[in-house]
C-alpha cells in the first residue's frame, strides 16, 4: 500500500490493489455486505480513509434492535438504564441487546458482532468513549449515542447528559438550609465531567451561602465502593469532622453509611447524608437516602428518539442535557446544637 498513490478518484481496482484484496472484497466493505473478516475490513477502510473516501459505507438490512454497551451492570445507573431502555423500546416495537465490555476485553470483537447484527443504533455507557469504534459505527450509518460522556467528544457524536451542576447545588443547598455549614464531599474521578460539574455545584452553593469551601472537606473518590469507603473514613476521622456529607453517587453514600456505623455515628442525628443517582438501594437503606434523582426514563426515551430521528433524517439536537431533582428522604435532618 505504501508504494501505491491514490486520490479521491481512485477506482475500486486501485483500492483493491492497495489493500491487497480482491475487487469483490472492496465492494463488500463499501456496500456493507457480510463475508469480510474484521482485519480485512479494517485494511480496506484504512485505504478508503487515505484517499479521502467520504461517502458513508452502506449498511445491510437494519434490525429493529438497539445495542446497549456497558462496562458492567452495577448499582451505578446501568441497571436502571437497561430497564428503562427496554420499557421505552417496547413502546416502539424495538428490541434491546445488552453488551458488557469488561476490563481487558478487546472492544473490536464486541463491535464486530454488533455491526454484524446491524442494529438501529447503539447506546454507550462506558468509562472509555471508544473513538475508533464510534467512527466505525458512523461509517456504517449506525447512530451512536454516548450517555454521560466521560471525556469531551467530537461534535459529530450524539450525547445525552444530565445537569450535574444544578444537582450539586440542590444537594448542598438542602444541607445548608438545614443549618449545616461544615459540609464534606466524597467526589468522583477528578477528570470526569460529571464529578467536575458536581464539585462546581457544591462549591457554588457554599459560596452563595457565604461559606468558604475547604479543600480538606473534599475527599477524593471514584464512584466505586472501596475508594469511597476510604474517603468516608478520612472525613469521619477528622478532629472537627463535617456534620453533613454530599456523596457524589449513591454507591459512595452506601460506603459512607458503613463507615459511620463502624464509628457509632448516627444518621441523621449526628451526620446528614445526601447521595446522587437515586438508584437501588437508596430508598431501602436505613435511614432512607436523600439523593439527587437521575431521570433514567427520560434519558432512555431521549436516546430512542435521537436514534429514530437520526435514521429518518429529522435529527436537530445532537446533545441533550436533562434536568435532575432532589428526592428528600430521612437521611438528612436539621443541625442539632
- Do 156 and 80 fall into the same domain? yes
- Do 21 and 35 fall into the same domain? yes
- Do 169 and 288 fall into the same domain? yes
54-58, 74-78, 147-151, 239-243, range with the lowest pLDDT: 54-58
For the CA atoms of 156, 141, 296, 177, the dihedral, rounded to the nearest 10 degrees, stands at 0
Kindly state whether residue 336 falls inside one of the protein's structural domains: no
What is the grid cell recorded at 308? 429514530
CB 266 within 8 A of CB 333: no
- Do 41 and 12 fall into the same domain? yes
Final residue belonging to a domain, choices 58, 80, 102: 58
96-101: long-range contacts (C-beta < 8 A, 24 or more apart)?
96/65, 96/66, 96/67, 96/68, 97/65, 97/66, 97/67, 97/68, 98/68, 98/70, 98/73, 99/67, 99/68, 99/69, 99/70, 100/70, 100/71, 100/72, 100/73, 101/69, 101/70, 101/71, 101/126
- Do 54 and 74 fall into the same domain? no
- Do 168 and 290 fall into the same domain? yes
140-173: per-residue pLDDT in tens? 889 999 998 877 666 678 999 999 999 999 999 9
- 7: pLDDT confidence band, cut at 50, 70 and 90? low
Kindly state whether residue 337 falls inside one of the protein's structural domains: no
- Do 274 and 229 fall into the same domain? yes
> To the nearest whole number, what is the mean pLDDT of the chain?
89
Kindly state whether residue 335 falls inside one of the protein's structural domains: no
- Do 77 and 17 fall into the same domain? no
Cis before 287? omega within 30: yes
Considering only residues 152 and 44, tell me which one the structure prediction assigns the higher pLDDT: 44
pLDDT at 1 over 60: no
Q: Pairing between strand 290-293 and 144-147?
A: unpaired
4 backbone dihedrals φ, ψ, rounded to 5°:
-105, 120
- Do 169 and 127 fall into the same domain? no
- Do 226 and 83 fall into the same domain? no
Domain span at 191:
164-294
Looking at residue 210, which CATH number applies to its domain?
3.40.50.2300
Cell 443517582 maps to which residue? 277
Amino acid at each position: 500500500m505504501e508504494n501505491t498513490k491514490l486520490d479521491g478518484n481512485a477506482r475500486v481496482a486501485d483500492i483493491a490493489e492497495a489493500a491487497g484484496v480482491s475487487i469483490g472484497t472492496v465492494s463488500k466493505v463499501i456496500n456493507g455486505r457480510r463475508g469480510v473478516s474484521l482485519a480485512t475490513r479494517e485494511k480496506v477502510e484504512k485505504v478508503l480513509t487515505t484517499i479521502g473516501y467520504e461517502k458513508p459505507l452502506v449498511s445491510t438490512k437494519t434490525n429493529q434492535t438497539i445495542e446497549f454497551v456497558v462496562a458492567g451492570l452495577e448499582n451505578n445507573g446501568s441497571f436502571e438504564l437497561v430497564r428503562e431502555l427496554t420499557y421505552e423500546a417496547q413502546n416502539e416495537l424495538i428490541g434491546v441487546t445488552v453488551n458488557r465490555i469488561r476490563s481487558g476485553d478487546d472492544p473490536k470483537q464486541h463491535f464486530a458482532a454488533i455491526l454484524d447484527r446491524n442494529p438501529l443504533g447503539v447506546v454507550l455507557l462506558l468509562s472509555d468513549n471508544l473513538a475508533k469504534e464510534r467512527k466505525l459505527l458512523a461509517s456504517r450509518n449506525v447512530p451512536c449515542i454516548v450517555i454521560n460522556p466521560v471525556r469531551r467528544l467530537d461534535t459529530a457524536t450524539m450525547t445525552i447528559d444530565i445537569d450535574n451542576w444544578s444537582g450539586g447545588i440542590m444537594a448542598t443547598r438542602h444541607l445548608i438550609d438545614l443549618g449545616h455549614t461544615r459540609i464534606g464531599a466524597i467526589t468522583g474521578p477528578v477528570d470526569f465531567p460529571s464529578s467536575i460539574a458536581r464539585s462546581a455545584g457544591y462549591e457554588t452553593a457554599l459560596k452563595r451561602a457565604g461559606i468558604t469551601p475547604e479543600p480538606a472537606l473534599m475527599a477524593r473518590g471514584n464512584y466505586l465502593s472501596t475508594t469511597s469507603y476510604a474517603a468516608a473514613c478520612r472525613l469521619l476521622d477528622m478532629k472537627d469532622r463535617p456534620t453533613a456529607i454530599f456523596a457524589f453517587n449513591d454507591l459512595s453514600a452506601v460506603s459512607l453509611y458503613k463507615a459511620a456505623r463502624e464509628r457509632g455515628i448516627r444518621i441523621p442525628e449526628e451526620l446528614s447524608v445526601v447521595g446522587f443517582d437515586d438508584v437501588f438501594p437508596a430508598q431501602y437503606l436505613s435511614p432512607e437516602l436523600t439523593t439527587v434523582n437521575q431521570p433514567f426514563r427520560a434519558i432512555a426515551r431521549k436516546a430512542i428518539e435521537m436514534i429514530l430521528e437520526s435514521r429518518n433524517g429529522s435529527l436537530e439536537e445532537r446533545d441533550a442535557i436533562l434536568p435532575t431533582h432532589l428526592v428528600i428522604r430521612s437521611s438528612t435532618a436539621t443541625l442539632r446544637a
